[in-house]
Amino acid sequence: MIRKALIKDAKEIISIINFYANRGEMLYRSINELYENIRDFIVYEIDGEIIAVSSLHIDWEDLAEIRSLAVKEKSSRKGIGSELVRECIREAKELGIKKVFTLTYVPKFFEKMGFKIVDKAQFPHKIWGDCVKCPKFPSCDETALIIEVSES
């Protein structure tokens, strides 16, 4: 079941995200950052256990970002990540957002879902709002991808 994240989910969400961050496969998130952005997050839950997370963060009037997409290893390769991405796109469409982007170390996953690789410089709000705080800035090794959200 996919649902909006609740405050009580924060520690479990952080655990999933930072498991991959500690392996260098995604960016680390602090618990403070998670609490501040909890409304952006959705979780995939089975029998009361959160097994996957993602978030949709609004960056500008026509642009949102899919962040922190992570699925526990035991549940990977079952289409759960794709379901979460589709839910983020559905929510973006509902909000009237025209484009959704992501920065990722796994571009092929997003390409299979219709995202196209683009230059990160296309997102100045992201770069100067979030990226400057990243320890990897300005030598970001993530790939930027974007998808146009149809209004149909």
Provide the terminal-to-terminal Cα distance of the chain, rounded to the nearest Å.
25
Total residues belonging to the chain? 152
Give me the sheet containing 2-4, strands edge to edge: 2-4, 41-46, 49-60, 63-71, 99-104, 143-148, 116-118
Alpha-carbon gap, residue 21 to 144, rounded angstroms: 18
Residue 152 has pLDDT above 50, yes or no: no
Over residues 48-74, the pLDDT tens digits come to 999 999 999 998 889 999 999 999 998
Average pLDDT (131-139) is 56
Q: Domain locations in the chain?
A: 2-148
Over residues 98-120, the pLDDT tens digits come to 999 998 989 999 999 999 999 87
Over residues 32-41, the pLDDT tens digits come to 999 999 999 9
Q: Which of 22-26, 136-140, 147-151 has the lowest mean pLDDT?
A: 136-140
Residue 128 pLDDT class (50, 70, 90 cuts) = very low
- Predicted local distance difference test score (pLDDT) of residue 111: 97
Residue 4 has pLDDT above 90, yes or no: yes
Alpha-carbon gap, residue 106 to 115, rounded angstroms: 12
CATH code for residues 2-148 = 3.40.630.30
